Structure 1
Amino acid sequence: MADAQGLADDRALLGRTSTAERVSDILRSRIAEGFFPPGTRLSEESIGGALGVSRNTLREAFRLLTHERLLEHQLNRGVFVRMLTDADVEDIYRTRSLVECAVVRGLGEPPYAVDGLAGAVSDGRRAARAGDWKGVSTANIHFHRELVALAGSARTDELMRSVFAELRLAFHVVDEPRRLHEPYLARNRQILTALQEGRRDEAERLLAEYLDDSRRRVVDAYRRSGAKDERASG
């Protein structure tokens, strides 16, 4: 009974933490969709007012996202969306390669449930026709999120949620989004076709090449951006 009474005393914390987790889910999704670019200061007053949550709840959500490396607290300045480094980008892609390729490699016998992948491919093509390259980027992230979901693992989905949100932060530094994203429309389609036809090994090979090429492109963009910043400051 004494143990139960101790848990009862923590009931208020449970409700607050649960709300903080829901708020962190919302903010993570907003980051992943590109609404909060790197370097954005997050206002406790405006976000708390918009979501109708207390300052303490919002601060707990910020803490959770800081732990996920999506936000950072700057002393006497506030909470900001993180600016990634090229080393961060390398690590994001290393994680993606380990997880995404393993998901495809671990698929059982076909047919595979690829409706989500097909929807993301269609969304990407539609956004490209409209010249919406941010939308193409979002569809691309959705494609890979759906690919990870083929594992049927809630833990893997949760792990990759933050990775994909960080990936969006990496994309923000690219000054020619069409040049980065357009080639992957066709490559997503190739991976989808291979899975539709039950060619799992081919899909894994295409995915590994895709991720390596994307890593090099994004890291190069980061290094060019850093060089431009140095020239500007000089």
Structure 2
Amino acid sequence: MAELNGLADDRALLGRTSTAERVSDILRSRIAEGYFPPGTRLSEDTIGNALGVSRNTLREAFRLLTHERLLVHQLNRGVFVRVLTVEDVEDIYRTRRLVECAVVRGLGEPPYAVDGLARAVADGQRATREADWKGLGTANIHFHRELVALAGSARTDELMRSVFAELRLAFHLVDDPRRLHAPYLARNDRILRALQDGDRAEAENLLGVYLDDSLKRVVEVYGRRVSEEL
């Protein structure tokens, strides 16, 4: 299966004391990076063998990710990557606006540690030059993860890690990822420049408009695609 490419390489991340939490971390990252599209059935045997973990450990990891709304268990059918509703997408963006804007608003005095943001913008620019639209989507999500990380809060990072993984599920059903992500690369750069200039208020304003516009675009396209799938 193409989506399992490289999964065996993640086996080294488990170390000698593999746990369901570590397995769920790996699978969550794979979902966020687009390796497991919505509706994908996750095979216990295939994934368990690739990671070298027991069936019980894998089932516990599945349970954790089901609790995070990334997976869904269907009776007598197995475990699947969840397909979001339009209402899910709207709620994700409400959460993003509450958290991301609050992070920027709560920043202290400049200068700010924006190296991670700069790397994400550079990654997005490189992906655009190479017409790697999946890579552009990943760079876009990394930008916002780095933005949240400016809060210096492990709890906030953990919360938003799941939110961004859910968001990637919505992006999978968008028919033209280039049109979805490319316009926002320049906006990421403007937010970065505002923070480099120490203009926290401008960065928050840019971010709020960004998220509102992105919500409208994603809901429009996602709603149409979900209707087509039904």
TM-score (norm: length of structure 1) = 0.90
C-alpha distance in 2 between matches for 1:49 and 1:37: 20
- Give deviations 1:190-213, integer Å, cap 9, x for gaps: 000000000000000000000011
Structure 1 segment 172-183 matched on structure 2, within 5 A: 172-183=172-183
Q: How big is the shift at 1:227?
A: 3.3
Contact conserved, 2:18 with 2:53, CA < 8 A, in 1? no
Q: CA deviation at 1:34?
A: 0.3
Q: In the alignment, what sits opposite 2:148?
A: 148
Letter in 2 for 1:117: L
Aligned equivalent of 1:189: 189
Corresponding position of 1:34: 34
Which residue in 2 is equivalent to 1:68? 68
1:72 aligned counterpart, secondary structure = strand
Distance 1:226 1:153 in 2: 35
- The 5-angstrom pairing of residues 11-22 of structure 1 reads 19-22=19-22
Larger Rg over CA atoms? 1
Structure 2: gaps of 5 or more residues:
1-16
Report the secondary structure of 1:174's partner residue: coil
Task: Return the alpha-carbon distance in structure 2 between the equivalents of residues 219 and 50 of structure 1.
Answer: 36
Partner of 1:138 in structure 2?
Answer: 138
Per-residue CA deviations over 1:111-167 (Å, capped at 9, x if unaligned) read: 000000000000000000000000000000000000000000000000001000001
Q: In structure 1, what residue type is equivalent to 2:224?
A: R
Gaps of 5+ in 1: 1-16
Number of the residue aligned with 1:111 = 111
Does 2:129 align with 1:124?
Answer: no
Counting matched residue pairs gives 214
Deviation at 1:92, TM superposition (A): 0.3
C-alpha distance in structure 1 between counterparts of 2:110 and 2:226, whole Å: 45
Deviates more, 1:215-224 or 1:127-136: 215-224
Q: State the one-letter code of the partner of 1:40.
A: T
Specify the alignment match of 2:214 in structure 1: 214
Give, in angstroms, the shift of residue 223 of structure 1: 1.5
Identity %: 81
Task: Give 2:4's aligned residue.
Answer: none
Distance 2:202 2:49 in 1: 50
Structure 1 equivalent of residue 23 of structure 2 = 23
